[in-house]
Amino acid sequence: MSTPDTHLHIDNVSKSFGDVQALKGVDLEIKRGSFVCLLGPSGCGKTTLLRIIAGFENASSGRLMLDGTDISQMPPHKRGFGMVFQSLALFPHMSVAKNIAYGLKLRKVGKAEQRDRVEELLNVIELPDIADRPVSALSGGQRQRVAIARALAIQPPLFLLDEPLSALDAKLRDNMQIELRQLQQKFGVTTILVTHDQHEAMMLADELVVLKDGEVYQSADPATVYQEPANSFVADFLGAANLVPANVSKDGHVTVMGQEIACDTGHPVGTRLSAAMRAEHIGLVPASKAKGHPVGAVKFLRDLGPTTELVIAVDEQDLRVRCDNATVPDLSIGAQVALSLDGGRLSVFKA
Amino acid sequence: MRVGLLPTEGKSTYRFMVLFLATIGILISSLPVIVVTIMSFSGSDNTGFPPPELSLRWYWDVVAMFTQEDANSAQSVVDSTVTSLLVAFIVMVISTMVCIPLAYALARGDRRIREGMELLFTLPLVFPLVILGIAFLLIAESLRLDIGIWRIVIPHVALVLPFVLRNCIGAMNGISVETEEAAISLGASPLRAIWDVVIPLMRAGILAGLIFALIISFNEFTITFFMYTIDVSTLPIWMYSRTVSSLDPSTLALSVFIIVADIVLIVLVDKLIAGRANLF
């Protein structure tokens, strides 16, 4: 049952294209005013799900409930959701002002009010002087902001974005992520963004939905998804975890790479598991003080400024390690080093 | 760095060949126009080349043909010109009205259907024009209907469609589905999105198609030769009738008028669409 602050309820939505099942019973409740990121590799169904919400595709089964009303059969132009497309899809034959005012013109808003609204939005996106410019005269970041302004001009109940930042270069993308988040907070609009970039999803989302093969693998706030991934795919997809075999050696303990660690898994003794460790959760100890810790050889070493990235080979397995520069011992390639693992930060899944 | 049109490096024979072929090409395509233009200024009654003396007498003849009633001629040049212009205009409107929705449907539809349809509409191009003329004549005669100017309009539309369609499809290819969906997401009905977004973005291709239709129809001879009647005839037919027994130099002066009109039209459209579609 939907709670009162559920804005959109995606009720058991499935979609097939011929024999291919793009979505398998997706069930999500999206809170009013929240920023939801649909995250997954290409082909996971995230864009299909967004297009179903926008109305450009029809679900094969299931319903979409907006504020308790079934909108599954409503044509897209009646839904009034603002959408920002991957290609931005600005109208190249219109000026910036006409682009932003297009949705208002369709709603038969008066000329003076259109002008006021465009001016207001241009101020919000901090580009007050570009109203009369053709779209072709804008830079990538400016186009981005105009596309967002155009979608927000119609004061949509839902704001949908399909990988809108993927065409920007890395630095601009970083800035736009912060701006987009601030805009969303300012307008308080319920927002759904599709991305394959886990960093972007972490930057923006209140709620992160990880999809794979048309199924929701995990749906939670970003910190939870990162710290407590529900399965090995999520652990690996978000911030590339090291996945190593483990097994339950005795009650409340698992053995990983020969080391016994206190970790309550709830599985019976002898269960074969797979353990995920974040690169930054592995500590380095000089090999001389190993004391039962797994020992490996440094294969790769690179100082990135704030952190150092290492690859350490333990029993034929390469592990990614990220250390604060303050804590990294003096190492060189080929040197032996011991790894300290923290049971509280270990995620274990049934293999 | 911009790559030069002419190779500045390499063997001189290569450079010579490029220049030689280019010159031949330009000569072949422009020679008829040059000859006709020079001859139209001839001062003598025969059509020997080069003209022994120059005058504007044939131009005055053309002006006289259009301004004075000619009792000798079965068909007047004024009637033929009006018919030609009217046919060209109707052909232009019909072919564009057919091709915009067709191009939209083909560009957004199944790829295989699109290739098949394009082939179908290209048929009149590969068909020998004489056979096409006979075919249309047979159809028109078996119908036993007096359809007036449409005897010529309908075959012209068939002839012009592939050119207009190709231009419209080319224009459609540059318009992403997302642009249309953006309009729809902002509240435009699918039809409104086509009107507000697709048609304006197709403008260059549509204009190129319009001019194609106009020029091809206005200059068409072969099929029209089978289809014309005493009442409905076009300017090329009239010009042919004036040259079939003995070449009348006033026809050449008239040709120059038509060439100038064609060039003006092409330049105008080229300016209008500013390289956003190709005319040829």
User: On the CB side of A281, how many CA atoms lie within 13 Å of its CA?
Assistant: 19
Q: Are residues A156 and A42 in the same domain?
A: yes
- Whether A1 is in a domain gets the answer no
User: Nearest-CA distance from A323 to chain B in Å?
Assistant: 44
Least Cα separation, residue A100 to chain B (angstroms): 10
Does residue A214 sit in the same domain as residue A179?
yes
Averaged pLDDT for residues B97-120: 87
| Helix, strand or coil, per DSSP, at residue B147 | coil
In a domain, residue A288? The reply is no
Give the nearest chain A residue to B188 (CA atoms).
Answer: A77
Instruction: Tell me the range of A108-117, A236-245, B61-70 where mean pLDDT is highest.
Output: A108-117
Mark whether B90 and B48 lie in a shared domain. no
Would the CB atoms of B201 and A93 count as touching at under 8 Å? yes
Task: Give the whole-angstrom CA distance, residue A279 versus residue A239.
Answer: 8
Is residue A72 located within the same domain as residue A87? yes
Round to the nearest angstrom and report the end-to-end CA distance of chain B: 28
Whether residues B43 and B117 fall in one domain: no
Judge: A77–B178 Cβ closer than 8 Å, yes or no: no
Same domain, B55 and B112: no
Residue B1 lies in a domain: no
Taking 90 as the threshold, does the pLDDT of residue A162 lie above it?
Answer: yes
pLDDT of the residue at B26: 92
| B57 and B86 housed in the same domain | no
B179 shares its domain with B257: yes
The complex's ipTM works out to 0.82
Q: A77 and B190: CB-CB below 8 Å? A: yes
Query: What average pLDDT does the segment A223-247 reach?
Result: 84
Residue B114: its pLDDT value, please?
83
The two structure tokens encoding residue B261: 């009109």
The full DSSP string for A167-192 is: TS-HHHHHHHHHHHHHHHHHHT-EEE
Share of chain B above pLDDT 70, in %: 89
Q: Which helix (H) or strand (E) holds A248?
A: strand A242-250
Judged by average pLDDT, the poorest of A107-121, A282-296, B46-60 is B46-60
Residue A331 CA to residue A318 CA, distance in Å, equals 17
Model confidence at A51, pLDDT cuts 50, 70, 90, reads very high
Q: Which of residues 149-178 of B touch A (CB under 8 A)?
A: 176, 178
> CATH no. for residue A59?
3.40.50.300
B187 shares contact with chain A (CB less than 8 Å) = yes
Q: Tell me what pLDDT residue B74 has.
A: 52
Closest residue by Cα to residue A100 from A76, A75, A132: A132
d(CA A216, CA A213): 9
Which of A11-15, A232-236, B242-246, B263-267 reaches the highest mean pLDDT?
A: A11-15
Residue of chain B whose Cα is closest to the Cα of A160: B185
Distance CA A238, CA B82 (A): 74
pLDDT mean over A88-102: 92
CA dist A265 and A275 (Å) reads: 11
* Nearest-by-CA chain A residue for B197: A91
B114 in the same domain as B49: no
Residues A126 and A11 in one domain: yes
Q: Are residues B55 and B93 in the same domain?
A: no
**CB atoms A107 and B181 under 8 Å:** no
- Residues B97 and B202 grouped into a single domain: yes
B170, pLDDT greater than 90: no
Residue B2 has pLDDT above 70, yes or no: no
- A147 shares its domain with A97: yes
A108 and A16 in one domain? yes
Please check whether residues B38 and B173 belong to one and the same domain.
no
User: What's the pLDDT at B279?
Assistant: 43
pLDDT reading at A289 higher than 70: yes
Who among B184, B187, B193 is closest to A154 (CB)? B187
Q: How many CB atoms lie within 10 A of CB B145?
A: 10
Of B185, B196, B197, the CB nearest to A76: B185
Q: B186 at the A interface (CB within 8 A)? A: yes
Contact B176 A87 (CB under 8 A): yes
Give B8-33 as a DSSP string.
-SS-HHHHHHHHHHHHHHHHHHHHHH
pLDDT score of B4 more than 80: no
pLDDT for position B203? 86
pLDDT of residue A1: 46
Query: Mean pLDDT over residues A299-328, rounded?
Result: 85
- Distance, in Å, from the CA atom of A65 to the CA atom of B122, rounded to the nearest integer, reads 50
B167 against B271, higher pLDDT: B167
Q: pLDDT per residue over A9-50, tens digit each?
A: 999 899 998 888 899 989 999 999 999 999 999 888 999 999
Tell me which chain A residues have a C-beta less than 8 angstroms from the C-beta of B187: 77-78, 80, 103, 106-107, 154
In angstroms, the separation between the Cα of residue A57 and the nearest Cα of chain B is 11
Whole-structure pTM value: 0.79
Q: Which residue has the higher pLDDT, A159 or A278?
A: A159
- State the total domains in chain B: 2
- The CA distance from A340 to the nearest CA of chain B, in Å, is 51
Average pLDDT, chain A: 87
Residue B279 lies in a domain: no
Within a domain: residue B204? yes
Closest CA to B217 of B90, B67, B73: B90
For A303, phi then psi, to 5°, come to -85, 115
In a mutational test of the B interface, the residue from A71, A77, A108 whose CB has the highest number of chain B CBs within 10 Å is: A77
Contacts of B178 in chain A (CB under 8 A): 85-87, 89
Crossing angle, helix A96-106 and helix A111-124, to 10 degrees?
130
How many Cβ atoms from other residues are within 10 Å of residue A221's Cβ?
12
Same domain, A115 and A256: no
B105 shares a domain with B32: no
DSSP line for A115-127: HHHHHHHHHHTT-
Q: For residue B266, what are the domain limits?
A: 74-273
Q: Which residues of B7-46 are buried (b: 16+ CB within 10 A; e: fewer)?
A: eeeeeeeeeeeeeeeeeeeeeeeeeeeeeebebbbbeeee
The residue out of B66, B93, B110 marking a domain boundary is B66
Same domain for A156 and A259, yes or no, is: no
User: Per-residue confidence at B59, pLDDT binned at 50, 70, 90?
Assistant: confident
The count of CB pairs under 8 A between chains A and B is: 65
Q: Clarify whether residues A70 and A162 are in a common domain.
A: yes
Helix (H, G, I), strand (E, B) or coil at A317: strand
Q: What is the pLDDT of residue B274?
A: 56
Confidence of residue B1 (pLDDT cuts 50, 70, 90): very low
Please say which residue of B66, B83, B105 terminates a domain.
B66
| A342 token code pair | 């923290």
Instruction: Tell me whether residues B187 and A82 touch, CB distance under 8 A.
Output: no
- Element at B132 (helix H, strand E): helix B129-143
Contact of B189 with chain A, judged by CB distance below 8 Å, is answered with yes
Query: What pLDDT does residue B73 have?
Result: 56
Q: Which residues of A61-72 are buried (b: 16+ CB within 10 A; e: fewer)?
A: ebebbbeeeebb
Q: Do B187 and A83 touch (CB under 8 A)?
A: no
pLDDT band at A205 (very low <50, low <70, confident <90, very high): very high
pLDDT of residue B61: 81
Both structure tokens of B28: 């072949």
Does residue B7 lie within any of the structural domains?
Answer: no
Same structural domain, B96 and B206: yes
Question: What would the two tokens of residue B104 be?
Answer: 């939209």
Tens digit of pLDDT for each residue in B146-160?
788 898 999 999 999
Interchain contact B278–A (C-beta under 8 A): no
For residue B178, the SS3 value is: helix
Work out the pLDDT band at B7, boundaries 50, 70, 90.
Answer: low
Is B156 a domain residue? yes
On whether both A156 and A54 belong to a single domain, the answer is: yes
Residue B190 touches partner A, C-beta closer than 8 Å: yes
User: Is residue B58 assigned to a domain?
Assistant: yes
Same domain, A194 and A265: no
Q: Are residues B135 and B181 in the same domain?
A: yes
Residue B4 lies in a domain: no
**For residue A2, pLDDT beyond 70:** no
Lowest mean pLDDT among A194-203, A245-254, B264-273: B264-273
Residue A211 lies in domain: 6-236
CA–CA min distance A5, chain B (Å): 25
The answer to whether residue A103 scores a pLDDT higher than 90 is: yes
The CATH number of the domain holding residue A326 is 2.40.50.140
| CA distances, A6 to each of A51, A61, A68, A141 (Å) | 20, 21, 9, 33
Higher pLDDT, residue A204 or B110:
A204
Task: Indicate the residue of A81, A91, A93 with minimum beta-carbon distance to B185.
Answer: A81
Q: Does B178 contact A87 at a Cβ distance shorter than 8 Å?
A: yes
Residue with the two structure tokens 């034929």: A316
CB contact under 8 Å between B178 and A92, yes or no, is no
Residue B178: which CATH number?
Answer: 1.10.3720.10
Does A106 contact B184 at a Cβ distance shorter than 8 Å? no
Please name the residue of chain A whose CA is at the shortest distance from the CA of residue B182. A89
Number of structural domains, chain A? 2
- Tell whether B196 lies on the interface with A, counting CB pairs under 8 A: yes
- Candidates A82, A91, A160; nearest CB to B179: A91
The contact set of A with B (CB < 8 A) is 54, 56, 75-83, 85-87, 89-93, 102-103, 106-107, 150-151, 154, 160
The closest of A185, A183, A232, A177 to A202, measured between CA atoms, is: A177
**What pLDDT score does A30 carry?**
92
Q: What is the mean predicted confidence (pLDDT) over B264-279?
A: 65
Hey, are the CB atoms on B187 and A107 less than 8 Å from each other? yes
Residue B204's closest chain A neighbor by CA?
Answer: A93
Q: Give residue for tokens 């009303």.
A: A69
